[in-house]
Amino acid sequence: MKFIKKNDIDFDEPIIIEAFPGTGLVGSIAAYQIIKELKLKYFGYFEIEGIPPITTIENGTPYPPVRAYANKNLVILFSDVIIPPNSINRLAELIVKTFSDNKPKLFVSLGGLIAGKSEKVFGIANKEKLLENLKNYVEIFNFGVLGGISGNLLIKCDDNGFDAIALLAETVGVRPDPRGGANLLEVLNKMFNLNVNVESLIKEAENIENKLKELAEQHLKMMSKKKEYPMYI
């Protein structure tokens, strides 16, 4: 497993946002809107064993499925495939290692929380000062189990002395939830002054849902194979 850089970017204490596929694809939906509106540059990709052998085509150009987009202040980690569970721990370590020399200001992990509705966004942080700041924007996720890469990334960041938070949006279920993605985007706009248009995301909900439907089905199949107790994924 490795990260392959494709373009040079002169980073200035960037915020690293991990938005890999999860419940309701809310992180993917919010990230896609950010990448598109801020016209982030393709930065590189993660080479991961065991992921589906697909290539993403955008405007006639091929891209690997697990990749990074960036400008000098922001990095978005995006994927068109579900990350295999047995790769999550190593990938979290690699993410921290890849960006540690760029003096990242904050790592942010985006995810969903099945609630049968799309209203609230909850927050988790690896430091007390971050929790206090999160209270200005979201409710704190006080108790539960955090699965997937979000929990791993919070721990790996803490082990290496980096600030990290997770933002979890309520979703109606596993299927793509543009409203949940919009709620995440509203919080990100307030926290980081991104000024990304939320209304256009809601208006494009049908197109976004069609684009991400296959990805959601992958996630649903993966969840149906799990026999563990329910948890956030």
Q: Provide the pLDDT for residue 231.
A: 41
Residue type at 177? D
pLDDT: which is higher, 76 or 215: 76
pLDDT band per the 50, 70, 90 thresholds, residue 144 = confident
Q: Provide the pLDDT for residue 116.
A: 81
- Tens digit of each residue's pLDDT (9 = 90 or more) over 67-91: 999 999 999 999 999 899 999 999 9
Q: Provide the pLDDT for residue 175.
A: 80
Q: Provide the pLDDT for residue 129.
A: 97
- Tens digit of each residue's pLDDT (9 = 90 or more) over 89-139: 999 999 999 999 999 999 999 999 988 878 899 999 999 999 999 999 999
Q: Provide the pLDDT for residue 220.
A: 57
pLDDT band per the 50, 70, 90 thresholds, residue 227 = very low
Q: Locate the domains of the chain by residue range.
A: 11-217
pLDDT band per the 50, 70, 90 thresholds, residue 218 = low
CATH class of 11-217: alpha beta
Q: Provide the pLDDT for residue 168.
A: 96
